[in-house]
Amino acid sequence: MKHYLCQRRTAAPNFFFPRTSLSKRILQALVLASAAGWLYGCGVQGTPHPPRLEVPAKVTNLTASQTGQSVEIDFTLPVMTTDGQRLTKPLEVEILRAAVPQAKGLAKLPEPEVWMHLIHDEWMPYAQGNSVSYSAHLTEREFHDWRGQTIVVGVRTLTRGFRHRPLVSDASNLVEVPIYDVSEPVENFKLVTTEKAVQLQFSAPATTLSGAPIHDLTGFRIYRSLTGKAGSFELLADVPMPAYSDAHFDFGQTYYYQVRATFGLPGHLAMSDPSPVVKVTPRDIFPPAPPQGLSTIYSAGAVELVWTANTEADLAGYNVYRVEDQASERVNKELVRTPIFRDASAAPGKTLTYYVTAVDFSGNESKSSKQEAVETK
């Protein structure tokens, strides 16, 4: 037990103050009290405290699945110790695994062993906050030996105590990951923008990673992102065929797409590595339909026009054209918002022809409606 380095004095120091004023005597008394407190405290031993053992709490939300030749492992790091205190020491992560014959599951599970040990700097690049998404790559030998088997995966974390002794958490929940001979990424991925959807087209894979003909293929997963950054892609749809129409889009917005082929059984799906990212910014180059039902009549010194309203959601308005002496002229200064127009500038005593077009918010103008002739007399 260590003691403070000062020594206890056997007698109080002989402080002497000459006769002085009341204020100075008060100050002298305070100095004496302070000195006495210092002397009393010197040499007192503190209560010993044992070193704190930071054993991490157990991970409880582990998920894992096969992607290509890797096992994707996701979990949340503990922030508390087993005794309810907050962790302060750097965490290390151990990934556990055991291989069992296909469909035998946890009932035949041997004792999981450490597959990978990750120090703090090794798992940090895969973390966002306390959430870790780690890709454990299978070697060629592991992939060859484990195809057709189930890998049971777990994780545990640890800190370091006295003399670097590991303080290890309990193993997490265990997850079964059947290993399938999945395909290479899908190829020939392209996008076509239509007025109603972004059309995704790609080729179905022909061979597996081992070079065998495709088997156990269940379909394709479509992912979309607004930024294209890793980790930003969200599942859009599961489809059985190599095509998809994304009708939920906005013109002018940039989208990024990826596709993965899926294999296996529901609840135990494996996926190919993702296709290359394909980017598209849909542009509205699609004009509205030509207006229908145009009719004209000359009344009270003006030509009255009426037609059936268009139904496009992005309709901005209409243009009205007059043909006179084989020359066409737009007679409205601003877009007409409703399917009615009165041309008070029509000259009397003539035969005039009119037609109407529709315009959307992107400035696309439709083909003309049918032409209608009217006599102004």
What pLDDT is stored for residue 8 in this prediction?
A: 40
The two tokens of residue 346 are: 């029509």
Measured CA distances, 314 to 192, 253, 310, 362 (Å): 21, 16, 10, 8
Instruction: Report the run of H or E that residue 323 belongs to, with start and end.
Output: strand 315-324
Q: Where are the alpha helices (DSSP H) in 203-308?
A: none
Given this model, what pLDDT does residue 191 score? 96
Asked if 63-178 and 187-280 have one fold, the answer is yes
Domain 63-178 indexed as CATH 3.90.550: no
Token reading at 53:
């053992």
pTM of the predicted protein model: 0.74
Q: Taking the CB of residue 150, how many other CB atoms lie within 10 A of it?
A: 22
Q: What pLDDT was estimated at residue 106?
A: 55
User: How many Cβ atoms sit within 10 Å of the Cβ of residue 223?
Assistant: 18
Beta bridge partners of 171: none
Q: Output the pLDDT for position 112.
A: 85
Indicate the fold that domain 187-280 takes in CATH: Immunoglobulin-like (2.60.40)
As to burial, measured by CB atoms within 10 angstroms (0-12 exposed, 13-18 middle, 19+ buried), residue 73 is buried
Find all residues with CB under 8 Å of 86, minimum gap 6, and list them: 79, 80
pLDDT of residue 49: 58
Sheet hosting strand 292-299, strand order edge to edge: 292-299, 302-308, 340-343
We find that the CATH architecture of domain 292-376 is: Sandwich (2.60)
pLDDT for the residue 12: 44
Distance between CA atoms of 137 and 98, rounded to whole angstroms?
15
**Residue 14: its pLDDT value, please?**
46
Q: For each successive 10 residues of the chain (377 residues), what is the average pLDDT?
A: 40 46 54 49 55 89 96 97 94 92 58 92 94 95 90 95 93 93 95 95 94 93 96 94 96 97 88 96 96 96 97 96 93 97 94 97 96 93
What is the rounded distance in angstroms from the CA atom of residue 280 to the CA atom of residue 14?
91
Instruction: Single out the residue of 187, 345, 349, 333 nearest to residue 273, CA to CA.
Output: 187
pLDDT score at 33 = 52
Q: Is 335 helix (H, G, I), strand (E, B) or coil?
A: coil
Closest CA to 225 of 205, 249, 241, 242: 249
Domain regions of the chain by residue span:
63-178, 187-280, 292-376
How confident is the model at residue 341, as a pLDDT?
Answer: 98
Cα-flanking dihedrals φ and ψ of residue 61, to 5°?
Answer: -120, 35
Q: Given this model, what pLDDT does residue 111 score?
A: 77
